[in-house]
């Protein structure tokens, strides 16, 4: 589509040029892209700005509640358009081109697998999200999980006195319908407060997939042995009901307690009609099948939490505690069939029942102790105990009866305990701010493969230092440097050797021999006011998780799993710039150039060729009148490598407009995401004797109308 490519290049160039021009011309003190609102209190008029983006030395804060384009979508949609964040077709997240991102909800680390987390984010409406923090180099106060950093999703929670809240509803249309509706309520009186929210989400989705695989006769890849071509069109409805209810009580002016229950209940189905054809060296079909796959998933997740804060008599000294118990049930039923019309080869129908039950207890206590003026110590403890029980049963249909497939069936139980302690010292001199910390985490795991009667135990103690320096040359100019050591542990599903079938010919399988990734992350940068920030970063990772595949030509089956590769390096330059081109037009630009380099034995290959990748995100905010606002956002990323895969470039352009109504208590928003339908997921790989090309045409072009009313 040359016309669309030209158009996207023109739009990106214009937006980038204007943002650079704005930086060169602007001398105004602004924190980020902003929208302005005016609030009247009796005779006093207060003007305040609604910040859209805030860039800090260690994180980028995206204020979702102020975004027009984000309204009516899901948490996963919002993350896909957050600067510096890229979302793959299956919901895997990366920051600055690096995978292995830890996700927190309201500052609490999620315990879900990648698939379960993707479903949760798809089921969380953006109307319930206040902010998203992208933390690239966390201090030792945070969990050491996440080699690429942490994404913290902060949900809305009204805290004004009396009855306050919002109600919302939206309708969107892409290839399928999408709806969101719900409310957020809070009532505070004297020392008591009650809060709650509810949201209903229906997310229709249709994806078009194409999968081409070439098998060569030898490692030189000069002669083709066979070619496999697969296509499918999916229908993927997701329905969820999420609610949260809680209460808070002020025991004394120095002590507050809070209790809540959070529930997530949903279902998801993936129905796919497709084709699968295999050609021989003469390009003659040796296998030609019509395929049908149906995967039904249901889940219910309940979290019970008790937390509190206490301020001691000494100014600045306080304690926070947080205890949570989460229980989650996940059920998946699968059915796959293939009708071969090329010859007499019969492919047996398959079905699978894959239940999973997760139980997690988490408790932590945090203290802040000021020593002297401008000195303080943060310290605390955390414990996490996890159990996941996953009995899976697969069957195939033969001779008019269903028979158990013992090669796929497995009962897998995973137990994990993590105990952590940390100390984080802060010292503020006249111009130099120092933050140095150390975190210790002890991990013990027990893997019990009951069907195979195999058990594996492991435990290890790791230390995670962190250092952050900031030097202020003047009020407007500063430099910063940071270092942290981080870990990315394999999840219970990464370790589980059971098979999860995408269809009769493709399945993924865990690797119980995976060991954790260890990353050393460094960054140094310069900032001018809050308008401009430039940094250089370098990350070195040992024992890198890398997805690999193996094709069996006898069964026409491709198996995907993960292995540890010796090392990887992620390095680049990151520049963010905020400018006001006019009173009615503000622009925020993120410019990131990075490269990933992998070193190690990967399917008979010692290295993967690194690719220099450019990621540009330009966010625009327009104030048309006092009640009319608009946004126009563009993101472009050139070719990049994801382990053994190379991802093609992609482009996203989204626009939105909003109008305040009903005495400014109501807001109507209309947005159009991925206008040119160019935000797709195309990957390819050529390793050993196999070449793979996967093309996912995603259902990203969505028109949405949303209404929000403030109570």
Please spell the DSSP secondary structure of 461-507, one letter per residue.
EEEEEEEEEEEESSSSEEEEEEEEEEEEPPPHHHH---EEEEETTEE
Q: In what order do the strands lie in the sheet containing 98-99?
A: 85-87, 93-95, 98-99
- Which element (helix H / strand E) includes 210? strand 208-216
231: Cβ–Cβ under 8 A, 6 or more apart, which residues?
208, 209, 210, 211, 274, 275
Nearest by Cα to 390 from 145, 122, 113:
113
The pLDDT, as a whole number, for residue 15 is: 47
Neighbours of 662 (CB within 10 A): 11
d(Cα 645, Cα 633) in Å, to the nearest integer?
28
- 494 by Cβ neighbours in 10 Å (0-12 / 13-18 / 19+) ranks as middle
Give 578's strand partners: 588
Give long-range contacts, CB 8 A cutoff, 24+ apart: 23-28: 23/531, 23/532, 23/577, 23/579, 25/579, 25/581, 26/531, 26/579, 26/580, 26/581, 28/580
String of DSSP letters for 54-107: EE-SSEEEE-GGG-STTTTSBHHHHHHTSTTEEE-TTS-EEETTEE-EEEEETT
- The pLDDT score that the predictor gives to residue 607 is 55
pLDDT at 51: 55
Token pair 């001199």 is at which residue?
429
Give the C-alpha separation, 182 to 156, whole Å: 13
The reported pTM is 0.86
What is the distance between the alpha carbons of residues 501 and 495, in angstroms, rounded to a whole number? 16
CA distance 142 to 410: 35
Alpha carbon distance 63, 321 (integer Å): 26
- Cβ atoms 636, 649 nearer than 8 A: yes
Which DSSP category does 145 fall into?
Answer: B
The CA-atom distances, in angstroms, between 665 and each of 10, 129, 270, 544, 710 are 38, 19, 39, 50, 5
Q: CA–CA distance from 565 to each of 101, 144, 514, 572 (Å)?
A: 18, 21, 10, 21
Q: Which of 674, 678, 681 is nearest to 703 (CA)?
A: 674
Instruction: List average pLDDT for each run of 10 residues in the chain, which is 711 residues long.
Output: 49 45 39 37 38 69 79 79 79 85 88 76 82 88 90 80 89 95 91 92 95 88 90 95 94 95 95 93 90 94 96 89 95 91 84 92 95 89 95 92 90 94 93 94 93 89 95 92 93 82 80 92 90 92 88 79 90 91 89 90 65 92 92 93 89 93 92 94 87 93 93 84
Q: What residues form DSSP beta bridges with 235?
A: 271
3-state class of 22 per DSSP?
helix
What is the C-alpha to C-alpha distance for residues 420 and 487, in angstroms, rounded to an integer? 13
C-alpha to C-alpha distance for 666 and 707, rounded to whole angstroms: 7
Q: Are 211 and 230 a contacting pair, CB within 8 Å?
A: yes
- Map out the domains of the chain with their CATH numbers: 2-710 (2.40.170.20)
DSSP string, 630-694: EEEEEEEE--EEETTEEEPPEEEEEEEEEEEETTTTEEEEEEEESTTS---EEEEEEETTEEEEE
Secondary structure (H, E, C), 276-319:
EEEECCCCCEEEEEEEEEEEEEEEEEEEEEEEEEEECCCCCCEE
């Amino acid at each position: 589509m040359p016309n669309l490519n030209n158009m996207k290049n023109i739009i990106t160039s214009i937006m980038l040029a204007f943002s650079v021009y704005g930086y060169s011309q602007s001398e105004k003190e602004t924190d980020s892209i902003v929208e302005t609102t005016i609030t009247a209190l009796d005779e006093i008029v207060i003007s305040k700005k609604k910040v859209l983006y805030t860039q800090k030395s260690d994180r980028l804060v995206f204020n979702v509640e102020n975004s027009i384009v984000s309204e009516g979508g899901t948490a996963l949609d919002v993350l896909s358009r957050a600067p510096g964040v890229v979302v793959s077709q299956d919901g895997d997240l990366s920051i600055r081109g690096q995978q292995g991102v830890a996700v927190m909800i309201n500052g609490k680390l999620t315990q879900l697998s990648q698939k379960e987390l993707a479903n949760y984010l798809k089921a969380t409406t953006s109307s319930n999200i206040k902010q998203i923090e992208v933390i690239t180099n966390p201090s030792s106060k945070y969990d050491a999980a996440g080699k690429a950093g942490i994404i913290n999703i902060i949900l809305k929670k009204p805290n004004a006195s009396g009855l306050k809240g919002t109600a919302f509803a939206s309708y969107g249309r892409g290839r399928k319908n999408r709806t969101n509706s719900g409310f957020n309520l809070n009532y505070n009186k004297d020392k008591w407060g009650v809060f709650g929210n509810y949201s209903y989400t229906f997310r229709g989705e249709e994806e078009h997939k194409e999968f081409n695989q070439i098998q060569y006769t030898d490692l030189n890849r000069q002669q083709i042995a066979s070619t496999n071509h697969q296509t499918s069109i999916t229908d993927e409805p997701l329905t969820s009901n999420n609610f949260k209810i809680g209460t808070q009580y002020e025991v004394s002016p120095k002590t507050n307690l809070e209790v809540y229950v959070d529930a997530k209940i949903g279902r998801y189905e993936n129905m796919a009609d497709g084709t699968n054809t295999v050609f021989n060296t003469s390009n003659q079909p040796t296998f030609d099948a019509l395929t049908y796959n149906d995967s039904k998933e249901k889940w219910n997740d309940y979290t019970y939490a008790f937390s509190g804060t206490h301020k001691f008599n000494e100014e600045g000294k306080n304690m926070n505690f947080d205890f949570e118990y989460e229980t989650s049930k996940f059920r998946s039923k699968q059915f796959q069939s293939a009708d071969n019309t090329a010859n007499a080869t019969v492919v047996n129908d398959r079905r699978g029942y894959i239940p999973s039950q997760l139980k997690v207890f988490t408790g932590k206590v945090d203290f802040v102790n000021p020593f002297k003026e401008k000195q303080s110590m943060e310290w605390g403890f955390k414990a996490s105990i996890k159990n996941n029980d996953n009995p899976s049963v697969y069957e195939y249909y033969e001779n008019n009866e269903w028979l158990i497939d013992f090669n796929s069936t497995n009962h897998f139980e995973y137990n994990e305990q993590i105990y952590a302690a940390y100390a984080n010292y802060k010292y503020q001199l006249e111009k130099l701010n120092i933050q140095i910390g150390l975190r210790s985490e002890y991990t013990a795991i027990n893997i019990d493969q009951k069907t195979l009667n195999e058990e594996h135990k492991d435990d290890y103690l790791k230390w995670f230092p962190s250092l952050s320096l900031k030097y202020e040359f003047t009020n407007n100019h500063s430099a910063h440097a940071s270092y942290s050591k981080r870990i990315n542990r394999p999840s219970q599903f990464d370790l589980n050797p059971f098979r999860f079938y995408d269809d009769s010919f493709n399945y993924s399988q865990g690797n119980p021999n995976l060991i954790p990734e260890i990353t050393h992350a460094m960054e140094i940068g310069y900032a001018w006011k809050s308008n401009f920030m430039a940094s250089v970063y370098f990350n070195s990772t040992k024992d890198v998780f890398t997805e690999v595949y193996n094709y069996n030509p006898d069964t026409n089956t491709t198996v995907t799993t993960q292995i540890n590769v010796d090392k990887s390096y992620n390095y680049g330059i990151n520049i963010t710039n905020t400018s006001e081109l006019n009173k009615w037009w503000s622009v925020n630009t993120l410019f990131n150039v990075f490269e990933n380099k992998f070193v190690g034995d990967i399917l008979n290959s010692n290295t993967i060729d690194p690719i220099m990748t450019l990621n540009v995100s330009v966010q625009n905010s327009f104030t048309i009148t006092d009640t009319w606002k608009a946004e126009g956002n563009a993101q472009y990323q050139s070719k990049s490598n994801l382990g053994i895969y190379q991802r093609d470039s992609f482009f996203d352009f989204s626009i939105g407009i909003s109008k305040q109504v009903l005495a400014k208590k109501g807001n109507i928003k209309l947005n159009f995401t991925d206008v040119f339908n160019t935000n797709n997921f195309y990957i390819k790989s050529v390793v050993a004797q196999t070449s793979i090309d996967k093309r996912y045409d995603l259902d990203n072009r969505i028109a949405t109308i949303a209404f929000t009313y403030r109570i």
